Chains A and B, each alone.
Chain A
């Protein structure tokens, strides 16, 4: 098919572009395949946790008095707990892809509903955190690279080292103390959805998002600085200058574009840490999110909820990884990235 394309007149123009997009697409597809494997593996591990427990959910649900062996056996059958593990997993998975994550052992509320209720909270702070991490980390890294060797550079590098070792809950606490308790500028806890007003919503998610974003921003800034310093020494930057392009344009369209890759990868790698930080943020800022749901259901050993939350979290991680991979594929068309 490729050969035929090359011999036609119109094909001569489109073939290399098509070849490049096909290469990028196969790269994404390959990544997708790996990620699906990961999803399956992690969901299986997740699912097995429930089975690992020698707690007897049927007995717990029925309560001590009603938990006669016959009643337990009956409930086991109803809940499907008497089938072998892989079969149980298969059933659960096939239901899960259709959006049915089962019902809570205790409240009988569908798991997907509980999750859907809490998801906006975590989505708000996670997306807010990503945006803040990119803005803060990107700016800091760029400024440090452009003014390398100077005081700004040294200050930024020092700040990054300090912040990246701090866990999210410590950062969150510092922020609460600084902005909420001492300065009374922002609320220390609670959450209001955007439908109740954009202002209060933003006020409530700003500090938690910042708590998640700062350690990641530090990592991103550090990596971006290193890459950008290297890119700015490349010949093609001189080439762009000599063509008379304005400095800002060169910095953004040529330098940052090529230097952003590793920083983007760091962002993708740190995303699971951000999610863990979300659990911390929910605790520090009293947000009704998935982390709290997980903690509560773990306390009561409400297995379906636990499994559901874990599945959602894993999916989140995988989606972000996919996005990062796609972005990298779009940014870098040459085979070796920067071609140093």
Chain B
């Protein structure tokens, strides 16, 4: 979306490109999104779709070998694309926080979780030791941990995944950031705990006006939690809009297929459903739509040139040549068995 960012925008990405392998390939291209205060925005897509790299870029913690190639990142309407290390140190914690999948690996296994929580408070907010400990225990209680004083003194190895994720959230919000980035935060947890974490995030948004960028490959969770959803495929945004609208009226074949596979919305699962084929390799030179190879609704125009986002309303857009085509519904999705049959037939034919 072009134009000036809204006044309460917390995170803005404009035409972001991320290169990998020391610039050899572009894994994320032309991503633009905006998160406003108090919004919960979901990023959905399969692994390798670029959603994690986008988050890492937004956080300033890209892995070695990756870099922002083009585009800008802005936090509270300030350009942070070329922020120095010191600048990021100041921004992290107080401006934006993050939680990741597998919380145990993101904590030092040799220190108690409490000391790591208190460390943040002592360093970032200059609280004295006792005060930091007290506030830490309060924070642990605020994220829904029973017996927070016991948890405070445990090392990560002694806590369960759900408890650890709550601890991570506590640490992430400890310095009152305006944005929380959650990268697959509920993926490794079991369903009941998942629901509790989702509720926790919603409460945090309601009580503190926290904006959340929630990355997941699980559409059901996204539907529960998010206000808006952005669909990634092969390093690009292929559709974005309010979550209800996307679920009821998806206008990109990939989104439709995703919904079918997740049996969310109108689609009911009968057998194990898959989307046949594979996403393109990172850096593969493809003219035209990057989904065309797997798209059952592809036409000539899809492969002729780059496809840009088609605005369907002022909040909904889709990167599809046929986005406005009313026949673009109920795109067939095959079953796993059928795909296997088709592949076997293809092999036999060779």
Interface set of A (CB-CB < 8 Å, partner B): 12-13, 16-17, 20, 234-236, 238-247, 249, 253-254, 257-258, 331-339
Contact = CB atoms under 8 A, between A and B. Distances in A.
A246 B124 CA distance: 9
Contacts of B109: 236, 258, 334, 336-339
Given A236-B108, A258-B110, A334-B155, A243 B93 contact: yes
Contacts, number: 95
Interface string B111-153: 1000000011001100000000000000000000001011001
Contacts of A246: 89, 123
Contact of A242 (B98, B110, B147, B150): B98
9 contacts: A235-B105, A235-B106, A236-B105, A242-B59, A242-B172, A243-B92, A243-B171, A332-B110, A334-B157
Interface string B197-218: 0000000000000000000000
A17 B124 CA distance: 27
B153 A16 contact: yes
Contact of B158 (A16, A336, A339): A16
Contact of B92 (A244, A331, A335): A244
B123 A334 contact: no
Given A235-B100, A243-B120, A244-B120, A254 B108 contact: yes
Contacts of A254: 108, 111
Given A244-B124, A334-B109, A12 B98 contact: no
Given A16-B153, A244-B93, A244-B124, A334 B59 contact: no
Contacts of A253: 119
B298 interface: no
Contacts of B150: 12-13, 16
B85 interface: yes
Interface of B: 59, 61, 85, 88-94, 97-98, 100, 102, 104-111, 119-120, 123-124, 147, 149-150, 153-158, 168, 171-172, 175
Given A13-B153, A235-B100, A245 B123 contact: yes
Nearest to A234: B105
Main secondary structure, interface of B, reads helix
B108 A242 contact: no
B107 A236 contact: yes
A244 B94 contact: yes
**Which 4 A-B pairs give the minimum distances between C-beta atoms?**
A244-B93, A244-B92, A239-B106, A339-B109
B61 A236 contact: no
A239 B93 CA distance: 11
A234 B85 CA distance: 19
Contacts of B155: 20, 333-334
Given A235-B100, A244-B124, A334 B156 contact: yes
A111 B104 CA distance: 57
Nearest to B119: A245
A17 B59 CA distance: 35
Contacts of B171: 243
Given A16-B158, A234-B105, A236-B109, A242 B119 contact: no
Contacts of B61: 238, 241-242
B223 to A, nearest CB: 27
Given A236-B108, A238-B106, 20 more contacts: A12-B150, A13-B153, A16-B158, A236-B107, A239-B107, A240-B108, A242-B172, A243-B172, A244-B123, A245-B123, A249-B123, A254-B111, A331-B110, A333-B111, A334-B109, A334-B155, A334-B157, A337-B109, A338-B110, A339-B105
Contacts of A240: 108
B100 A239 contact: yes
Contacts of A258: 108-110
Given A235-B105, A236-B108, A242 B97 contact: yes
B346 to A, nearest CB: 41
A331 B92 CA distance: 27
A236 B108 CA distance: 6
Contacts of B108: 236, 240, 254, 257-258
A20 B153 CA distance: 11
A13 B150 CA distance: 5
Contacts of B172: 242-243
A288 to B, nearest CB: 44
A334 B124 contact: no
Nearest to A339: B109
A235 B120 contact: no
Nearest to A253: B119
A333 B156 CA distance: 10
Q: Which residue among A16, A246, A339 has the maximum number of chain B CB atoms within 10 Å of its CB?
A: A339
A235 B102 contact: yes
Contacts of B88: 241
Q: Which residue among B97, B107, B172 has the maximum number of chain A CB atoms within 10 Å of its CB?
A: B107
A308 to B, nearest CB: 42
Contacts of B157: 334-335, 339
B156 A245 contact: no
Given A12-B147, A13-B149, A241 B106 contact: no
Q: Which residue among A242, A258, A333 has the maximum number of chain B CB atoms within 10 Å of its CB?
A: A242
B105 A244 contact: no
B70 to A, nearest CB: 24
Q: Which residue among A234, A243, A334, A338 has the maximum number of chain B CB atoms within 10 Å of its CB?
A: A243
B110 A333 contact: yes
A236 B104 CA distance: 8
A244 B102 CA distance: 20
A334 B113 CA distance: 12
Contact of A244 (B91, B107, B147, B153): B91
Contacts of B156: 334, 339
A334 B110 contact: yes
A238 B106 CA distance: 7
Contacts of B110: 257-258, 331-334, 337-338
B120 A247 contact: no
B107 to A, nearest CB: 6
Nearest to A232: B64
A298 to B, nearest CB: 47
A249 B171 CA distance: 17
